[in-house]
């Protein structure tokens, strides 16, 4: 049985994020980060530069909602704030992604709320100290552009460390930062549909579109199936809880429909941004084209805070779906099955298939594939060929070989992701994924790796070594329209255009796990990708599924697009207001981007 973790995501904590928050106290490892001159540090809570209660109060009155102190989710499970009923409810809900997305201090992967020295575990004893960890000190509950402008202006004037958080799915916890002011965009939840979208410039786009607030969770967008339209949406897992307009599109956004309709970032027609200096702009192909290019794939929030995004809407199509599960009796059978699949993948992509290919324990392999407008004859002639070949491999037992047709994406999503009852073959339903520590690492797999039998075999052997307990999600979400899009269309790593799949591994733990074990898991997750990195030197990771240990992250995240991104960043954010881990412009800053170190 595949674990939930193995199919979706979970998150993590990182030792390199571990420095204590306050600036003057200098970190842990004495050799790291020499004390920087004060002019190159951001102001964090607890320092003399931090605004007084009175100043916060005056600022608060200018906003649509009062500011509030942010607490880690486990706050009420510990003295002196212990509250039995609240704590119980927190413990009950902790694994629920939607609940976590509603907690300002929570990340989906709770390890990002902590530092190794400061935890606030909901599993801990009541008498354990609840530390603030990486949870920001104060938050603005932003619901208007004006809120975001005022918050950024206030942060700028006072040199405050600022973080932007949406639904908290980031795999490096980039929505949080110790001692910071958080701008929370989760409550920008609007959703509208236009039959013929008009840009702000007045020009008609000639296509229908869905306009969303960044915090709108994609679940709602399925309502648009009623209008016979579909948008490329975020988050196969977690009850569709990924926000529609924060990290997902700004970092890329893949979906099983991407080979047919493009990546999330490819589908954005226009977006509103509050720039780091508080200026409000609308970016589109003809308005601030540099920012429009950079924001789509450059990663949030490096170029500003998005407050409204417009996605192209596409006609719905019926989806022909295939479900396949195989058990292998020996490592050799597993490798041969994977070799066969890898060899078949380019042709499957060309035939219009896309999907996910989970595997486990060197003895299990599955496909959840779909083909828009497909039918049995065509399906048999394409994917059927692979299944026939798989059947013939000694030591391979086919457990599931089923097909079915869904009238549209919404039906497929409900049946296979949201509704735990209608599961064909294996259970891909990611109902409960939040509230664990998770570490991830990913690598894009170019088409040529599948076409070359030697590299394809190297990948099969590498997948054999993935131990039980390490989760993975291997989305075949490239090729097709993704490959037909120009590598400079937006800021996505150019390898997205040549890759067919994005392999990602996940390690997970609960927050009582000892640091040494956690460090071991994190290293293991990164190391498991080494054979794939070695096959594509200078290749790409998916920046929304980032490896904290990835060598040379600017190259891994953006490749040849990085120099242009850095130029745009320097122009729009000369004072480095909006920096995050592995973000554009963060080179030369400490692990929490509080002080410049070089
Ligand atoms: C359960 C789960 C399922 C997932 N499924 C998929 C999937 O199917 N496909 C896929 O591509 N990815 C998937 N992801 C990865 C996902 O794309 C990233 O985690 C993404 O960063 C989430 O964005 P967010 O706004 O929800 O997260 P947050 O953690 O709130 O924000 C992420 C980053 O964006 C910035 N940001 C947030 N809001 C804004 C804003 N309004 N303006 C500017 N910057 C902002 C933050 O500062 C942070 O750096 C999944 C993640 C999880 C946990
Ligand atoms: C809580 O305290 C008890 C008694 O000191 C101890 O046995 C137990 O291991 C603690 N539990 C946790 C989760 O720390
Ligand atoms: C934030 O604003 C939303 C929308 O008005 C509201 O529902 C929510 O309760 C607010 N949350 C906090 C913590 O202020
Ligand atoms: C992994 O495989 C081993 C040996 O085949 C088996 O004993 C074990 O139960 C499997 N574990 C899982 C999680 O499938
Ligand atoms: C089956 O699907 C293929 C590919 O989409 C298409 O070319 C063919 O016309 C379809 N056949 C039928 C009978 O619908
Ligand atoms: C498709 O293949 C399956 C076996 O995999 C077979 O049972 C079925 O008859 C085939 N259908 C067509 C239309 O060829
Ligand atoms: C599928 O998984 C979900 C989430 O873990 C679970 O609630 C559900 O019962 C499972 N469904 C089946 C049919 O096993
Ligand atoms: C990182 O990439 C840059 C640009 O390609 C290159 O100059 C540098 O040598 C690389 N560094 C490492 C450690 O690989
Ligand atoms: C804010 O930044 C933008 C983009 O760099 C620039 O065009 C604008 O003039 C700046 N506004 C102010 C008030 O500095």
pLDDT tens profile 451-474: 999 999 999 999 999 998 898 878
CA of 141 to the centre of ligand 3 (A): 6
Q: Is the CB of 537 under 6 A from ligand 8?
A: no
Q: What is the pLDDT of residue 425?
A: 76
Q: Is the CB of 340 under 6 A from ligand 7?
A: no
Question: Within 13 Å, how many C-alpha atoms sit on residue 453's CB side?
Answer: 2
Q: Is 424 exposed, middle or buried (0-12, 13-18, 19+ CB in 10 A)?
A: middle
Q: Give the domain CATH number at 279.
A: 3.30.465.10
The phi-psi region of residue 240 (left if phi > 0; otherwise alpha if psi is between -120 and 50; otherwise beta) is left
Question: Does residue 455 belong to any structural domain of this protein?
Answer: yes
Q: Is the CB of 502 under 6 A from ligand 1?
A: no
**pLDDT tens figures, 25-71:** 222 333 333 343 455 899 999 999 999 999 999 999 999 999 999 99
* CA-based nearest residue to 415, from 462, 485, 377, 368: 368
Same domain (yes/no): 323, 279: no
Q: What is the pLDDT of residue 382?
A: 98
Compute the residue count for the chain. 598
Q: Check pLDDT > 70 for residue 12.
A: no
DSSP letters along 333-391, please? HHHHHHHHHHHHHHHHHHHT-EEE--EETTTEEEEEEEEET--HHHHHHHHHHHHHHHH
Q: Is the CB of 187 under 6 A from ligand 3?
A: yes
Q: Give the domain CATH number at 327.
A: 3.40.462.20
**pLDDT tens figures, 268-277:** 999 999 999 9
Probe ligand 8: pick from 541, 549, 552, 566, max atoms within 8 Å of CB? 552
Same domain (yes/no): 201, 177: no
Q: How far is CA 360 from CA 60, 366, 456, 465, 546, in A?
A: 51, 9, 18, 10, 21
Q: What ligand is nearest to the CA atom of residue 138?
A: 3
Chain centroid to CA 375: how far? 33
Q: Is the CB of 103 under 6 A from ligand 3?
A: no
Percent residues over pLDDT 70 in the chain: 90
Same domain (yes/no): 77, 214: no
Residue closest by Cα to atom 7 of ligand 2: 125
Q: Is the CB of 551 under 6 A from ligand 8?
A: yes
* CA-based nearest residue to 14, from 177, 218, 146: 177
Separation between Cα atoms, residue 260 and residue 372, nearest integer Å: 8
For residue 527, the 8-state DSSP code is: H
Sign of CA dihedral 583, 584, 588, 589: negative
What are 19's two structure tokens? 């420095």
Same domain (yes/no): 180, 66: yes
Of the three residues 285, 315, 345, the one that is the final residue of a domain is 315
Probe ligand 1: pick from 113, 300, 438, max atoms within 8 Å of CB? 300
Measured from the Cβ of residue 288, the count of other Cβ atoms closer than 10 Å reads 21
Q: What is the pLDDT of residue 239?
A: 59
CA of 36 to the centre of ligand 8 (A): 25
Same domain (yes/no): 371, 308: no
User: For the residues 593-598, what does the mean pLDDT come to?
Assistant: 94
Separation between Cα atoms, residue 543 and residue 546, nearest integer Å: 5
Q: How far is CA 97 from CA 5, 100, 211, 256, 430, in A?
A: 13, 5, 24, 20, 10
Kindly indicate the confidence band of residue 544, based on its pLDDT and cuts at 50, 70 and 90.
very high
Q: What is the pLDDT of residue 430?
A: 54
Angle between helix axes 453-464 and 331-351 (nearest 10 degrees) is 130
What are 478's two structure tokens? 């490239």
Q: What is the pLDDT of residue 241?
A: 84
State which ligand 6 atom lies nearest to the alpha carbon of 388.
5
Probe ligand 9: pick from 149, 152, 274, 275, max atoms within 8 Å of CB? 275
Q: Which of 133-137, 216-220, 341-345 has the lowest mean pLDDT?
A: 216-220
Q: Which of 379-383, 433-437, 444-448, 479-483 has the lowest mean pLDDT?
A: 433-437
Q: What is the pLDDT of residue 226?
A: 59
Question: Does residue 305 belong to any structural domain of this protein?
Answer: yes
Of the three residues 315, 341, 360, the one that is the final residue of a domain is 315
CA of 62 to the centre of ligand 3 (A): 16
CA of 400 to the centre of ligand 6 (A): 14
Separation between Cα atoms, residue 397 and residue 419, nearest integer Å: 28
User: For the residues 412-440, what does the mean pLDDT come to?
Assistant: 76
Q: Check pLDDT > 80 for residue 328.
A: yes
* CA-based nearest residue to 534, from 596, 448, 443: 443
Q: Is the CB of 429 under 6 A from ligand 7?
A: yes
Strands 138-141 and 181-184: parallel
Same domain (yes/no): 176, 219: no
238 close to 108: Cβ distance less than 8 angstroms: yes
Tell me which residues have their CB closer than 6 angstroms to ligand 2.
123-125, 512
Same domain (yes/no): 486, 373: yes
SS (H, E, C) 229-268: EECCCCCCCHHHCCECCCHHHHHCCCCCCHHHHCCCHHHE
Q: Phi then psi for 95, rounded to 5 degrees? A: -85, -5
Question: Does residue 146 belong to any structural domain of this protein?
Answer: yes
Q: Is the CB of 4 under 6 A from ligand 7?
A: yes
State which ligand 6 atom lies nearest to the alpha carbon of 379.
1
Q: Is the CB of 543 under 6 A from ligand 1?
A: no
Kindly indicate the confidence band of residue 417, based on its pLDDT and cuts at 50, 70 and 90.
confident
Separation between Cα atoms, residue 151 and residue 155, nearest integer Å: 6
Q: Check pLDDT > 50 for residue 5.
A: no
Same domain (yes/no): 342, 475: yes
Q: What is the pLDDT of residue 381?
A: 98
Name residues whose C-beta falls within 8 Å of residue 325's C-beta, 6 or more positions apart in sequence: 364, 365, 366, 367, 398, 399, 400, 425, 426
- The per-residue pLDDT of the chain, averaged, comes to 90
Question: Does residue 21 belong to any structural domain of this protein?
Answer: no
Q: What is the pLDDT of residue 557?
A: 98
Name residues whose C-beta falls within 8 Å of residue 84's C-beta, 6 or more positions apart in sequence: none
Question: Does residue 231 belong to any structural domain of this protein?
Answer: yes
CA of 380 to the centre of ligand 6 (A): 6
Q: Could you tell me the pTM of the whole model?
A: 0.92
Separation between Cα atoms, residue 58 and residue 24, nearest integer Å: 27
**Through-space distance between the first and last CA atoms of the chain, rounded to whole angstroms:** 49
Domains in the chain, number: 3
Separation between Cα atoms, residue 479 and residue 496, nearest integer Å: 9
Q: What is the pLDDT of residue 228?
A: 84
Probe ligand 5: pick from 375, 379, 382, max atoms within 8 Å of CB? 375
CA of 352 to the centre of ligand 6 (A): 19
If one compares 556 and 411, the residue with the highest pLDDT of the two is 556
Q: Is the CB of 376 under 6 A from ligand 6?
A: yes
Strands 191-194 and 209-212: antiparallel
Q: Which domain holds residue 276?
A: 191-315
Same domain (yes/no): 152, 226: no
CA of 586 to the centre of ligand 8 (A): 16
Q: Is the CB of 427 under 6 A from ligand 7?
A: yes
Sign of CA dihedral 290, 295, 298, 302: positive
Separation between Cα atoms, residue 335 and residue 310, nearest integer Å: 44
Same domain (yes/no): 338, 459: yes
Tell me which residues have their CB closer than 6 angstroms to ligand 5.
373-375, 377-378
Strands (E), 171-221: 181-184, 191-194, 209-212
CA of 243 to the centre of ligand 3 (A): 16
Question: Does residue 571 belong to any structural domain of this protein?
Answer: no
**pLDDT tens figures, 144-194:** 999 999 999 999 999 999 999 999 999 999 999 999 999 999 999 998 889
Kindly indicate the confidence band of residue 221, based on its pLDDT and cuts at 50, 70 and 90.
low
* CA-based nearest residue to 193, from 165, 222, 170: 222
**pLDDT tens figures, 86-139:** 999 999 999 888 899 999 999 999 999 999 888 899 988 999 999 999 999 999
Residue closest by Cα to atom 7 of ligand 6: 380
Angle between helix axes 331-351 and 376-391 (nearest 10 degrees) is 160
Q: What is the pLDDT of residue 261?
A: 95
Per DSSP, what are the bridge partners of residue 181?
Answer: 138, 162
Of the three residues 297, 315, 333, the one that is the final residue of a domain is 315
| DSSP 3-state of 559 | helix
Same domain (yes/no): 331, 413: yes
Separation between Cα atoms, residue 505 and residue 253, nearest integer Å: 17
**pLDDT tens figures, 348-375:** 999 999 999 999 999 999 999 999 999 9
**pLDDT tens figures, 279-294:** 999 999 999 999 999 9
22 close to 46: Cβ distance less than 8 angstroms: yes
Q: Which of 135-149, 174-188, 425-439, 504-518 has the lowest mean pLDDT?
A: 425-439
Q: Check pLDDT > 90 for residue 429.
A: no
Probe ligand 8: pick from 536, 538, 553, 555, max atoms within 8 Å of CB? 555
Q: Which of 44-48, 200-204, 219-223, 399-403 has the lowest mean pLDDT?
A: 219-223
CA of 542 to the centre of ligand 7 (A): 29
Residue closest by Cα to atom 3 of ligand 3: 187
Same domain (yes/no): 73, 88: yes
Q: What ligand is nearest to the CA atom of residue 127?
A: 2
């Amino acid at each position: 049985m595949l674990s939930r973790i193995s199919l979706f995501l979970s998150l993590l904590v990182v030792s390199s994020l571990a420095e204590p928050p306050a600036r003057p106290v200098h970190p842990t490892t004495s050799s790291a980060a020499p004390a920087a001159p004060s002019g190159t540090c951001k102001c964090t809570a607890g320092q003399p530069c931090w605004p007084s209660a009175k100043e916060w109060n005056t600022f608060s009155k200018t906003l649509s909602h009062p500011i509030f102190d942010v607490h880690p989710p486990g706050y009420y499970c510990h003295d002196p704030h212990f509250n039995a009923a609240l704590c119980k409810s927190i413990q009950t809900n902790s694994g629920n992604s939607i609940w976590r997305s509603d907690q300002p201090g929570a990340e989906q992967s709770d390890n990002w709320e902590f530092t190794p020295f400061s935890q606030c575990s909901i599993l801990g004893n009541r008498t354990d100290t609840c530390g603030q960890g990486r949870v920001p000190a104060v938050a603005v509950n932003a619901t208007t552009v004006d809120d975001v402008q005022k918050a950024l202006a206030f942060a700028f004037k006072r040199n405050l460390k600022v973080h932007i958080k949406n639904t908290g799915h980031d795999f490096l916890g980039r929505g949080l930062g110790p001692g910071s002011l958080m701008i929370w965009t989760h409550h920008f939840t609007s959703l509208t549909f236009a039959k013929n979208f008009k840009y702000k410039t007045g020009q008609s786009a000639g296509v229908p579109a869905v306009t969303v607030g960044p915090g709108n969770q994609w679940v709602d967008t399925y309502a648009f199936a009623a209008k016979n339209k579909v948008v490329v949406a975020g988050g196969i897992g977690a009850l569709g809880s990924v926000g529609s307009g924060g990290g997902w599109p700004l970092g890329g956004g893949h979906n099983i429909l991407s080979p047919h309709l493009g990546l999330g970032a490819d589908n954005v027609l226009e977006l509103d941004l509050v720039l780091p200096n508080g200026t409000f702009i609308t970016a589109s192909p003809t308005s601030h084209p540099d920012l429009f290019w950079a924001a789509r794939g450059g990663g949030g929030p490096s170029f500003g805070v998005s407050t409204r995004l417009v996605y192209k809407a596409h006609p719905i199509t019926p989806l022909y779906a295939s479900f396949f599960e195989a058990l292998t009796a020996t490592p050799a059978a597993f490798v041969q099955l994977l070799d066969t699949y890898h060899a078949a993948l380019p042709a499957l992509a060309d035939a219009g298939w896309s999907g996910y290919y989970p595997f486990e324990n060197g003895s299990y392999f599955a496909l959840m594939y779909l083909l828009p407008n497909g039918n049995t004859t065509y399906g048999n002639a394409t994917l059927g060929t692979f299944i026939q070949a798989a059947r013939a491999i000694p030591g391979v037992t086919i457990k599931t070989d089923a097909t079915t047709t869904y009238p549209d994406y919404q039906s497929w999503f409900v049946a296979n992701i949201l509704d735990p009852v209608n599961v064909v073959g294996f259970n891909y339903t990611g109902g409960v994924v939040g509230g664990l520590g998770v570490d991830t690492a990913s690598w894009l797999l170019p088409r040529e790796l599948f076409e070359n039998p030697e590299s394809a075999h190297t990948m099969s052997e590498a997948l054999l070594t993935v131990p039980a307990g390490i989760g993975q999600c291997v989305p075949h979400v490239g090729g097709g329209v993704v490959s037909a899009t120009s590598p400079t269309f937006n800021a996505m790593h150019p390898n997205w255009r040549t890759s067919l799949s994005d392999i990602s591994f996940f390690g997970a733990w609960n927050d009582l796990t000892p640091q040494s074990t956690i460090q071991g898991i994190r290293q293991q997750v990164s190391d498991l990708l080494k054979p794939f990195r070695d096959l594509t030197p200078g290749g790409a990771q998916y920046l929304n599924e980032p490896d904290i240990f990835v060598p040379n992250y600017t190259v891994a995240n953006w490749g040849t697009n990085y120099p242009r991104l850095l130029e745009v960043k320097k122009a729009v954010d000369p004072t480095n207001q909006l920096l995050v881990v592995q973000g554009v412009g963060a080179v030369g800053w400490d692990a929490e981007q509080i002080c410049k170190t070089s």
